[in-house]
Structure 1
Amino acid sequence: MARKIARLTLDNLVDLPASCRSCLFWELDPVRRERAAAAGEAEREKEAWVSRVLLEWGSCGRVAYVDDDPAGFVLYAPPTFVPGAATFPTAPVSEDAVLLMTAMLYPEYAGAGLGRVLVQSVAKDLIERGGIRAIEAFGDLRATEGSRTAWGGCVLPADFLLHVGFKTHRSHPRYPRMRLDLKSVLTWREEVEQALERLLGAVRPRAVRPAAERHGPPRL
């Protein structure tokens, strides 16, 4: 089985689930988000956001593939590109960090460590860029791994973040802000390739999805 982690680009944006391609929870503030949805321009706005970040900062996501079939993805960007984060009670994101916005896997690929590999691929990218000290993310304490979380599945379960190495940076009864210091994972620079081979090598889809279902609801 061919397995790979690819950078998110405008060409493979279509490989994100349909619900995610039209979701602007992170990318726009609430007012602009409602306007885009009402005008039926959500997907166009998502594409415009990805294009802007690619031009001004660089790649802002990773997509996992198994036999060329999308298996999961992760999105991340500096907080200046993520106005939706300002709505959280534990905002703002630290100035020295990049925000891990969201990550999802299709159910048949869950449980094989692919979520951890996606986070490792983000860490490797940020370490190589330099000048970035940490990854931060907002967690949901009421969600669990494998569930569709609050706000339509946009917020990562806090237990998933803890599982992949994040620690609570600012506490909250529902939405703590979590942090992963890159200095604590510098060895991933050397280990991530082996991790990709080891963990992706264990991925086996639990069932073959009909083509019409491949863009259905994903989960962590």
Structure 2
Amino acid sequence: MGRRLVPLTLDNLSDLPSRCRACVFWELDPVSGERARRHGRAVSEKESWVSSLLSEWGTCGQVVYVDGRPVGFVLYAPPAYVPRSDAFPTSPVSADAVQLITAWIAPASRGQGLGRTMMQSMAKDLLGRGVRAIEAFGDARSRDPMCLLPADHLLAVGFEVTRRHPAFPRLRLELRRAVSWRTDMELALDRLLGGTTPIPALRRS
């Protein structure tokens, strides 16, 4: 089985699941996001967002391939590039952290260590750029959290609550902990990366 991990660029953005390519939940504020969806501009807005990050900040995601087929991805960015985060009651993301936006592995590819590899690649990329930590808004309410990662699954892989909330806690992971994830963490990572479902979810994301 050939596996390959590639930084997200405009050239492979089309390898994300189709609804993910039209997902602007995080990339635009709520009003602009709804307007983009209504006028059919979500895909172009997503492309513009990725393009801006690549030119102004650098890599904002990783895509994992098995035998040439894309089976998962992770997206992350500085909070200044994630307008929707301002709408959460537990914002803002800490000044020394990058926001984990979302991550996903296809069901058939879970249990193969791909999630750990992908997340550790993200951690190494960010550590190399001087980033100390990554934070995420978790969903503490739903078993199908759509655009948000489940809070309990984030906790299971080593995130800690940095600001409590009954629905949307903000959680933090020191990146050096992610780099040292062992194989015994793979089941927890599979649950985390299976906690968001890009197909129905991305109507809201």
| TM-score (structure 1 length as normaliser) | 0.79
Partner Cα separation in structure 2 for residue 163 and residue 115 of structure 1? 14
Tell me the residue number matched to 1:155: 148
Give the drift of 1:33: 0.6
The answer to whether the 8 Å contact 1:75/1:103 transfers is yes
Q: Give the conservation status (yes or no) of the 8 Å contact 2:158–2:177.
A: no
- Determine the structure 1 residue equivalent to 2:86: 86
Where 1:217 maps in the other structure, the secondary structure is: helix
- Structure 1 vs Structure 2 CA RMSD: 2.2
Aligned to 2:101: 101
Aligned ranges 1:67-86 → 2 under 5 Å: 67-86=67-86
Equivalents in 2 of 1:69, 1:17: separation in Å?
12
Aligned length: 189
**Residues 72 and 105 in structure 1, CA contact (< 8 A), matched pair in contact too:** yes
**Separation in structure 1 between the aligned mates of residue 111 and residue 151 of structure 2, nearest angstrom:** 16
Match status 1:176 vs 2:175: no
Identity of aligned residues (%): 57
The alignment partner of 2:72 has SS state of strand
2:193 aligns to what? Answer: none
Cα pair 1:79 1:98 within 8 Å, conserved: yes
Q: Aligned to 2:199, what secondary structure does the other structure show? A: coil
TM value normalised by structure 2: 0.85
Q: Which runs of 5+ in 1 are unaligned?
A: 204-215
- Cα distance in 1 between the residues matched to 2:2 and 2:177: 31
Structure 2 counterpart of 1:139: 138
Q: Which residue of 2 aligns with 1:64?
A: 64
Shift of 1:120: 1.4
Measured in 2, the distance between the counterparts of 1:119 and 1:89 equals 26
- Structure number with bigger Rg: 1
| Residues 90 and 142 of structure 1, relative CA distance in 2, 3 Å threshold | same
- After superposition, the C-alpha distances for 1:5-63 in whole angstroms (9 at most, x for unaligned) are 11000000001011111010100001111111111110000000000000000010001
Per-residue deviation, 1:159 = 2.3
> What code does the residue aligned with 1:39 have?
H
Deviation (angstroms), 1:160: 2.2
**2:26 is the counterpart of 1:26:** yes
The Cα shift of 1:217 comes to: 2.8
- Structure 2 CA distance, aligned partners of 1:81 and 1:96? 14
Q: Hey, what's the Cα distance between the residues in 1 that align with 2:108 and 2:59? A: 27
Residue deviations 1:110-165 (CA, integer Å, cap 9, x gap):
344433332211111111111x2210001112344xxx42xxx2100112212322
